[in-house]
A and B are shown apart, each in its own frame.
Chain A
Amino acid sequence: MKKRQEDAVNLTPMIDIVFQMIIFFVFTLDLEREKFTKDIDVPFAKNAPEIKEFEPATIYPQVMENGSIKVGSAIASPAVFRSMVRQAVKRFGQEVPVMIYGDANAKHEYIKRVMDICSEEGLYKINIIGIIEKSG
């Protein structure tokens, strides 16, 4: 008799809550965020307009402190990066947004190299990313 009572613990509320939590985490899971590498120390820019939405066609070159260019989690040589920009311009036209995610300690010449590749491919409007608030 005792055993039967234990079996009959009502699991429904727990399962309800667990499912709610799973749904929450699935919806807030943002795989897109992985386009930014963690080992880049982006400078703060608290007064500039916040990026509300990331447009899918945007190019995100990440410039590391030593000058290497990363796109996603892969290091791209300047030639590879140039061909990526060219492809993007061919596909989406000259309105492709470029957002540079640069390390605060990177020399400007490395940032310039990335911007020059973009402008040589016809993209003159460049956005530079800053951080308003770090999550921790």
Chain B
Amino acid sequence: MSRKRKRQRKKQTFEDVPLTPMIDVVFQMLIYFVLTFEIPDKMSQMQVWRPAGDSPPQADSTPPLNVARITVYDGYYAYNDTRASLGTLERTFNRLADLNPTQSIIVVATADSRHGSLVDALDLLNKAGLENVSLLSSN
């Protein structure tokens, strides 16, 4: 068999399609996807209601009797004007939820309180199953 003939015969078979460039590209893609792969964070959501913009909240006025009011200060909490820790709040929320899970809750956050403290309180409300939460802001 002459060399020329051999080459011609080789070209005709499928096995001799050059795979190298394809494998190169495929590996590049693989490396890209492996490096950009990221397991997403699991996130949760806490739903709150805000007062209408045209009627500014009056957090300092006397609240209705059947509403529980939690105030978030910078570093501590208050439940209906009594200072409370997160543990106290949790027990209170569980008691409230036992009585009435649709109980209205007002959370008042002061301007300098940290967002993290507010989220801690909202998280406990969700844990107790209280979902009717309004969020007011005070100075």
Chain A residues packing against B (C-beta within 8 Å): 8, 11, 15, 18-19, 21-22, 25-26, 28-30, 33, 42-51, 63, 99, 102-112, 115-116, 118-121, 124-136
Chain B CB count within 10 A is highest, among A22, A108, A130, A135, for A108
Q: For residue A130, which residues in chain B have a CB less than 8 angstroms away from its CB?
A: 43-46, 119, 122-123
Are A51 and B111 neighbours in the complex by a CB distance under 8 Å?
no
A40 shortest CB reach to chain B, Å: 10
Determine if B52 is an interface residue (Cβ-Cβ < 8 Å): yes
B108 shortest CB reach to chain A, Å: 10
A128-B29 contact, Cβ under 8 Å, with A45-B119, A109-B111: no
Q: What count of chain B residues pass the 8 Å CB interface test?
A: 48
- Tell me the nearest residue of chain B to A33, going by C-beta: B40
Instruction: Tell me the total A-B contact number using a CB cutoff of 8 A.
Output: 172
Chain B residues packing against A (C-beta within 8 Å): 15, 19, 22-23, 26-27, 29-30, 33-34, 36-54, 72, 109-116, 118-120, 122-124, 126-127, 135, 137
Are B126 and A48 neighbours in the complex by a CB distance under 8 Å?
yes
Are B111 and A112 neighbours in the complex by a CB distance under 8 Å?
yes
Are B53 and A119 neighbours in the complex by a CB distance under 8 Å?
yes
- Tell me the nearest residue of chain B to A116, going by C-beta: B53
